[in-house]
Amino acid sequence: MAKRTGEKYQAIIEAAVKVIAGSGYHNAQVTRIAKEAGVADGTIYLYFENKEDVLISLFRTKMGQFTASAEKELSNLEDPFEMLARLIHLHFSRLQGDRNLAAVLQIELRQSDPSIRKNISQIIKEYYNLIEQIIKYGIDRGSFSPCMNPNVARKIVFGSLDEVATCWVLSARRYSLTDLTVPVYELIARGLSTDGKAPPFPVEILPLH
């Protein structure tokens, strides 16, 4: 099997996102993905074992890129609340910036086979760990309540972002996902804080309209 790097590999990944978002995972044909990528059908199998492998690799690539970029952007911050605010904005802006990818991540992966969901649960652990590290750091700094379980808090934080994003993808009404960044931050930050209060959202994080 060819090394999973290079222009053709990336082209196949991007094509898979578009095709799966458009027709659904079960209706997405390898031949359509190959055509969208501008490669021969056989080229797909140089990089992937089957369509299931394409979906898993798609998630691994996209999730890996996002987690790495988020870790880099948060690494220079010291305030746990600012780290939380920036993570929420990164999460929402990444999905809003690629609606096809959002449809695949929020809808198609949930309708996939158990074996796919099992692989995906392993891949997303790095992102879970990042969220939990922020929570633990906030507790250590005295910013977040010491009474909470970091693992449970992480599930609540991720679950909240995930649900808001899924509703955005499924909604027949078009609206901005990133416009929900501040209210979501305020709810989560107050829940994590020691006294039910939280600093205002750092306005410099949001792009100018």
194/142 Cα distance (integer angstroms): 8
pLDDT digits (tens, 9 = 90+) for 153-163: 999 999 999 99
Residue 136 tokens, joined: 């633990």
How does DSSP classify residue 148? Answer: S
Question: What value does the mean pLDDT of the chain take?
Answer: 92
SS3 193: strand
- The reported pLDDT for the residue numbered 108 is 86
What's the mean pLDDT in 139-144?
Answer: 97
Domains within the chain, CATH numbers bracketed: 1-48 (1.10.10.60), 51-205 (1.10.357.10)
- The reported pLDDT for the residue numbered 207 is 66
pTM greater than the 0.85 cutoff: yes
Q: How confident is the model at residue 3 (pLDDT cuts 50, 70, 90)?
A: low
- The reported pLDDT for the residue numbered 209 is 47
**Percent of the chain residues topping a pLDDT of 90:** 82
Q: How confident is the model at residue 133 (pLDDT cuts 50, 70, 90)?
A: very high
Question: Residue 204 pLDDT more than 90?
Answer: no
The pair phi, psi for residue 34, each rounded to 5°, is -60, -45
Q: With DSSP H G I counted as helix, E B as strand and the rest as coil, what are the percentages for the chain, rounded to 5?
A: 70, 0, 25
How does DSSP classify residue 197? Answer: -
122/118 Cα distance (integer angstroms): 7
90/139 Cα distance (integer angstroms): 22
Q: 112 or 201: whose pLDDT is higher? A: 201
pLDDT digits (tens, 9 = 90+) for 97-118: 999 999 999 988 877 678 888 8
CB 206 within 8 A of CB 89: yes
- The reported pLDDT for the residue numbered 1 is 66
